[in-house]
Every structure is written in structure tokens, then in C-alpha cells.
Chain A
Amino acid sequence: MSEAAIEGAEAAAAPAAASALRRSLRAVGRTGVVLAKRALMLAVLLAVVFAAIELLPGDAASATSERGESAADTAARRRLLGLDRPVWERFPDWMTALPTGDLGTSARGEHVTDLLAAPFPNTLLLGATAFAVTLAAALALGCWAALRPGGTADRIVGFASGIALALPEFVVSIGLLLVLSLWTGWLPAVTLTAPDGSPASWTMLVMPVLALTVPQIGWNARIVRGALADQAAAPHVAAARLDGLSPRRVLLRHALPGAWPAIATGAATSTGMLLGGAVVVETLFNYPGLGTVLSGAVADRDTPVIAGVVACTGAVISLVLLCADLVRARTLGARP
């Protein structure tokens, strides 16, 4: 190979490497923009929540007052909790402490981070398991229904999901509790906690997870089915079908990749429902999660605890939405 040819090859490789670098930089930049947008929205939500709690009457100092406590004592505790300072001083303080993991002090003087340290992972475990089960089941059911549009499976899945998605989680819980626990005795009705504060056995997760997933599977199966139907009308899928590929191959290799953005967005919106539903289901099954902390905090009007829970769940939902954004960006590429 001559010298000139090597030089030529190198000259050609340099712009290619540069453009690859530029492309990856642009991808990182896009991710950064999406990340910043999601973080900003979370900050706005927290500001709204903080303002709402401030604007409405009553506060933590009067809600946690003991019987027969004088007005002076309540005022003293209000000063101790820092509630006498104006809200525009307290909110920035609270916000700037957030990235360091400091969620503030509860009305009873405990650190909110310590209060949430044990229950939050438990709720997260419940929510994440439910999310995984939901996604797997919804994908399986949606694909099964989409294999033969208008067939028996399609009609059964369509009807069942219409019923399942409307049921509130606590109604599903009652049904499961009666059938799986009280009448057959297969599963424990109440969650017992191990010394470290987590559920003592995995069998105690089964019913809460099932109660959370049933409505969400209904919702997501419908979204998967709808997204696959939209894709089935796309020209490249029609071409693959006309080429005589098997329905399964057309579905999995040609229709499903294009359906990912819609499926990811649907699953991401389920995150909020799963976390919210977890609070309800936890109360029923006595599961040691955020639900227990929240019901105590609601009774005490404990703003920092509730704001802390909102911050934690909001962060988790933002993260899942971010993943959905990235899936969408990856599938659609540079298209708007």
C-alpha cells in the first residue's frame, strides 16, 4: 500500500471520528436538556406543594400540641421548629438542603431522612416488583391479543383489561385477601416485619403486588395493544406481512420496535399510580412502607414529612419519565 493511500485513509477516518464524537456529544447534550427539564419540573412541584401547605390554615405546632398546652407553649414550639420564619426564607433553605439528602426536621423533632430511611426502600421494593410484573404481563397480553386482531384472544384481553383497569386497588385487595388468605389460608393476611424493618418473608409481598398490578396490567395491556395496532398500519409492517413472514416475526421484529415509545410512556404514567396505590394497599396489608408514615404525618399536619415523601416519590417518577424520554429519543432518533 502506498504512502498516499494510507494518508488518504487517515484523512477520511479523522472526519468520521469527529462526526461520531459530535453525535455522541449531541446525544449527551440532549440527555442533559431532558434531565434539566425533569429536575426543574420536580422543583416546581415541590414549590407548589410547599406553598399550598403554607397558604392553608393551621400548622404543625398547633396540630401536635398536647392537651392543656398554653398558647405560649405552642408559640415557643413554633419558634423551635422555625415555623415563625417567613415561607420565602424556609423554602430555599429546605430546597438547597435536598441534594445533600437532608429532608428537614419533622414536627416531632426527628430528621425526616431517618423517618423515611426504613419505609421508603420497602415501598420502592413493592413498587418496583409491581412495575416489573405489570410490564411483563402487559407486554405478553398485548402481544398475544395483537397476534390475531379481532380474534378470541383479542376480545378476551380487551374485555378483561377494560374491567381490570377500572377497579380500585383496595377492592382488588379485599378480593385477594378473602380468597387467598381467609378462605384458603395459602398466604399470610398481614405483613410481619423482620427485625431490620423489612417484610419477614417474600410470601407477604405476593398479595400487595397482585393488588397493585391487576389494574395497571389492564391499563398497560390496552396501551400495548393500541400501540401495536397503530404500528400494524405502518407501511414497513405491511410490507413485512406481504413478504410472507410469520405473524409472530412481524409482530416482534417489525411492529414492536416502533411501539416502544408509546409503551414506555404508558408504563411511566403507571409509576405514579403504583406508588399512590402502594400507600393504600400498605394500610390494608399492614405493610411497613410509606403508607404508615403518611397516615401518621397527615394526623399531625407534619409538613416536612409529607413534603419529604412528595420529594421522594416525585424523584422516582421523574426518573422513570426520564427513562421513557430516552426510549422515545432512541427510537425516534432525530425525528421530532
Chain B
Amino acid sequence: MSSAALAPPRSRRPRARVLIAVAPGLLLTLLALTGPLFAPRTVDSPVTAPYAPPGKDALLGGDQLGRDVLSRMLHGGSALIGSALVVAVLVTALAAVLGCFAVLTPVLGRLVERSADVAILLPPVLGMMLIALAWPGGGRLAVMAAATVLGVPYAVRVVASAAAPVAASGFVEAATAGGERLWHLALREILPNLRSTVLALFGLRFVAAVYVISMAGFLQLGPQPPAADWALMIRENAPGALLNPWAVVAPSIAIGLLAVSVNLAADALTPAARREP
């Protein structure tokens, strides 16, 4: 029995449409990861006057210290996207494993439910601040740890609810009766049937990670000033938005495009039956 057998077959989307929806996100991610190779200048040397408007030297003008906005843009996305990817992978993997165990052990299942209920009372920004301040000098690592810890409770609940029907199905009962160990039941019998749920969850966790990590960057909790980071650029250059709007607009557009394209991709990965009547 597989996940395709659990869901009606017509709910599957044509592969081509999924590819089209995923393409912008992938393209933008690739562009951000390879961006540093194309940067015309270094990120930390001033080349223009502070907040200089776009000109021959700097296509997008200068920032608050006269550094080239375009070069900082090309450098500033890779760490943001990279850490969001790591967080999304970590949260999804932890949630997938924990969710499969939770559905087999009622005590763990109740614990998961309650911890998700408690976690919802803590706004992500506050949780982020707590962990970042409890770990001074943690920088991006602290932000990634915070995003992972805050993301897991809810994600486990999603996996557990998808795993519940699988755990109740005949082949798992047969394996239980056959005396298989708990880890075998969870990881070899249940987990392989949750591919589509886990894939959709990964997409959603990536969206959430981009949101949380860029917000932490904006609040100056993660990367520290000399570093080039889209979210941090918005914060640093906001006072000069009237002199050189591009120093603020370009990173805003970049984060907006990233968030939207990743969300469209995540939408396409979500099983269609859940969203449409």
C-alpha cells in the first residue's frame, strides 16, 4: 500500500505543471548561490559617495557607506537561502522521524500535541529573540537553531496526522503482530508511505524558514553589520531610502521574489486533494 493508493489518483497533478511552478524558485536559488561569482566589486570597500544614485561605477548606486549595492546584492542571498535550506531540511527530517514514532507511541503522541499547543503561544519573533540573546555571538548559527526549534513542534503534528491512517492500516498491524521493532515499524513501514506529505512539508518549512531568517536578519539578530545580507541591507539603508532608493528596493524585491517563488513551488508540491474541493 502506498500513498498513491490512499489518495484518489485524480488528485495528482501533471508533472509539467509542478515543474513550471518550481522553476522560478530553483532559478532564483541558483542565481543567489552563484551570485558571488558575478559580483563586479568586493562587498566591503567603498566605491562611491554614501547613498550615491546609480551611475557608471555602480549600477544600483551606493549604500550608507558608499559600497556597491549590486555587489552586495549578489553576495547577500547565498547565506540567507543556504541557512533557510538547512533549517527546512533539519525541521522536515526531525519532524518526519518524530511524527512516525509519535503515531506508534501514544505517550510521545500526546507530548507532540501539547508541545505544538504551547509553541503556538510564542510568536516566532519573540522565540527568535530569546534564543539569539541567550546565545551571544551565535550569529547565524543561533538564528538557524532558533528557527529549527520553533519549527519542529508544528511540523511533527502535520506528519503525525498524515501518519495516523497509515499506522492503522493492515500491513502495519501485520508487522506489529509479526514482532517487528518500533524503529523498523516507524522508519521502514510508515515513513516510506509519507513521501508526498514530507515533500509538501519541506516546501512549507522552506517558506517559513525564509520568513523567519530574513526577519532575524532585519532585526540584526543573525548576521552582523559588515556582512552582506539582503535583510540586513534593508535595515541599514532604510534611512537613505530617499537618496538612493535602490539600496532598499533591490533587497526588498529580492526577498519578496524569493518568498513568493518558494511559496508557489511549495503550493505545487502540496497534494491537490488538500487544497481543492
- A residues lining the B interface (CB < 8 Å): 41-42, 44-45, 48-49, 52-53, 55-58, 149, 162-163, 165-171, 174-175, 177-178, 182, 226, 229-230, 232-233, 269, 272-273, 275-277, 279-280, 283-284, 294-295, 298, 301, 306, 309-310, 313-314, 317-318, 321
B19 at the interface (CB under 8 A from A): no
Write out the residue numbers on chain B whose beta carbons fall within 8 Å of the beta carbon of A317. Answer: 120-121, 123
5 A–B contact pairs at CB < 8 A? A44-B118, A52-B134, A170-B215, A280-B125, A306-B126
B263 at the interface (CB under 8 A from A): yes
- Interface contact B252-A272, CB-CB below 8 Å: no
| Chain B interface bracket (under 10, 10 to 19, 20 to 34, 35 or more) | 35 or more
Q: Which residue of B lies closest to A295 (CB)?
A: B219
Q: Which residue of B lies closest to A274 (CB)?
A: B123
**Chain A: interface secondary structure?**
helix
- Interface contact B125-A279, CB-CB below 8 Å: yes
Taking CB atoms and an 8 Å cut-off, the chain B residues in 193-223 that contact chain A are 207, 211, 214-215, 218-219, 221
- Interface contact B211-A168, CB-CB below 8 Å: yes
Q: Which residue of A lies closest to B259 (CB)?
A: A166
- With A163-B260, A310-B126 known to touch, is A174 a contact of B121 (CB < 8 Å)? no
- With A174-B234, A276-B124, A306-B129 known to touch, is A149 a contact of B277 (CB < 8 Å)? yes
Write out the residue numbers on chain B whose beta carbons fall within 8 Å of the beta carbon of A41. Answer: 114, 117-118, 121
- Interface contact A170-B234, CB-CB below 8 Å: yes
Instruction: Specify which of B117, B242, B256, B277 is in contact with A171 (CB 8 Å cutoff).
Output: B256
- Interface contact A272-B263, CB-CB below 8 Å: no
Write out the residue numbers on chain A whose beta carbons fall within 8 Å of the beta carbon of B125. Answer: 276-277, 279-280
B267 at the interface (CB under 8 A from A): yes
A166 to B135, CA, bound (A): 29
- Interface contact B214-A174, CB-CB below 8 Å: no
Contact with A along B263-274 (1 / 0, CB 8 A): 110010000000
Write out the residue numbers on chain B whose beta carbons fall within 8 Å of the beta carbon of A276. Answer: 123-126
- Interface contact B245-A171, CB-CB below 8 Å: no
- Interface contact B219-A226, CB-CB below 8 Å: no
Contact with A along B147-172 (1 / 0, CB 8 A): 00000000000000000000000000
